Amino acid sequence: MKLTAPLFLAALASAAHNWDVYRIGTVDNFAWKNTMPADGGSLGGYNSCETAANFTATQYKVTDIYKPRPEGLAPWATVVNGILMSRFYPGAWQGVNYKGGERDVVMMEYKDVPQAVRVWVEEQLKDEAQRKKRWLTVLRKSKAVDDMVTGDENLEVLPAEEKVMIFAPGEIYDSLPLWVAQGSKCEAELKNLSKYVPYHQDDAVIAWAQPITLPDRENGGRDLSFSVEAKYIRETEEGRTARLFWERAHAAAERHNRKQVREERMGKRALTQAQRRDKDEL
C-alpha cells in the first residue's frame, strides 16, 4: 500500500495526537518521546538531516492470537503466547499501556523490514539476555491453515520472503533510526544508535514512529500502515548562543529561588527563637 503525499501528510497530522498517551498513559519503561516539531517544520537552533518512510503490516489484538488467518495469528499462536506470558509488554504505538486483550501485536513481512533493522533484530535474538526481554520474534511463514509454526526451525536457511517478524509496536522504538537510514545523506549517523536520544542535543539522532492507518476491525480488517521519521541534528552557533543564554538565566532564577527559600527559613527560625525568648522571660 502506497500513500499519496496529501493523504500521508493529512493522516500523519491526525495521528500525531494520540490521546491515549494521556488518557491511558505509557508503560513504565518507555524511554522515548516525540521531539519532532509539532508543525512539521524545521527544528529551531539546529541544522538537520531528515528522512522518513512509511511501512505496511497487519495488526492484531491479543484476543486475536488463537483466531484463524486472516483475522488471527493461529499458526504462530504458541510462540506468540509464550512471549506474551514471559516478557514485559513494551507498549503499543507511542508506548501506550493498553491492558490485557487490548494490547496490540504486529506482523510484518520480513522482506519489508529494512536490512539494517534485520541485522539489529537478529543480533538481539542471538543474544540470550536480549532475546528473553525483547517482545519480538522472527518466524517462518505458515504454508497452510493447519501448518503450526513452533519456532524451532532453522531460519538461517530461509530467505526473507519466507519469514515474518512479529512484535509489539513499542518494541521497535529502540531501533527507529535504522528503519530509515539506508540511502539517506546521514546514513552512518542514523545507523549509530549511540547517538539516538529522546531529546535535542548537538550531534544527536532523534526519531519517532506512529500509525498512519489503523485496522478496520469492525469489518474484519487487520491492515496497518505506519510512519518512521528520523533526524540527525547539529546545533547552530545561533542555537548554542540562545541555549546558553537561557541556561544561564534559568540557573540564575534557580539560585534566586533557593536564596529566597533560605531567607524565609532563616526568618521563620529567627521568629520562632524570638517567641521562645519572650515566653521564657514571661
Q: What is the pLDDT of residues 131-176, one digit of tens each?
A: 999 999 999 999 998 899 998 888 999 999 999 999 999 999 999 9
Q: Which three cell numbers stand for residue 51?
A: 528522512
Residue 7 is predicted with a pLDDT of: 41
Q: Work out the average pLDDT over 56-78.
A: 97
Percentage with pLDDT > 70 across the chain: 93
- Chain mean pLDDT for the chain: 90
For residue 129, name the pLDDT band (cuts at 50, 70, 90): very high
pLDDT digits (tens, 9 = 90+) for 4-38: 444 444 444 444 457 899 899 999 999 999 999 98
249 pLDDT exceeds 60?
yes
The Cα angle at residue 121 between residues 87 and 31, in degrees rounded to 5: 60
For residue 1, name the pLDDT band (cuts at 50, 70, 90): very low
Residue 218 is predicted with a pLDDT of: 95
Residue 11 is predicted with a pLDDT of: 43
pLDDT digits (tens, 9 = 90+) for 130-139: 999 999 999 9
Encode 180-208: b = buried (16+ Cβ within 10 Å), e = exposed.
Answer: bbeebebbebbbeeebbbeebeeebbbbb
Helix residue ranges, H only, 111-236? 115-126, 128-133, 176-180, 187-191
d(CA 99, CA 194): 32
d(CA 21, CA 90): 14
Q: Work out the average pLDDT over 227-232.
A: 98
Residue 28 is predicted with a pLDDT of: 94
Parallel, antiparallel, or unpaired for β 104-109 and 46-61? antiparallel
Residue 202 is predicted with a pLDDT of: 96
Q: Work out the average pLDDT over 197-216.
A: 97
76 pLDDT exceeds 60?
yes
282 pLDDT exceeds 80?
no
Q: Please give the residue that has the higher pLDDT: either 269 or 115.
A: 115
Unique residue bearing C-alpha cell 541544522? 47
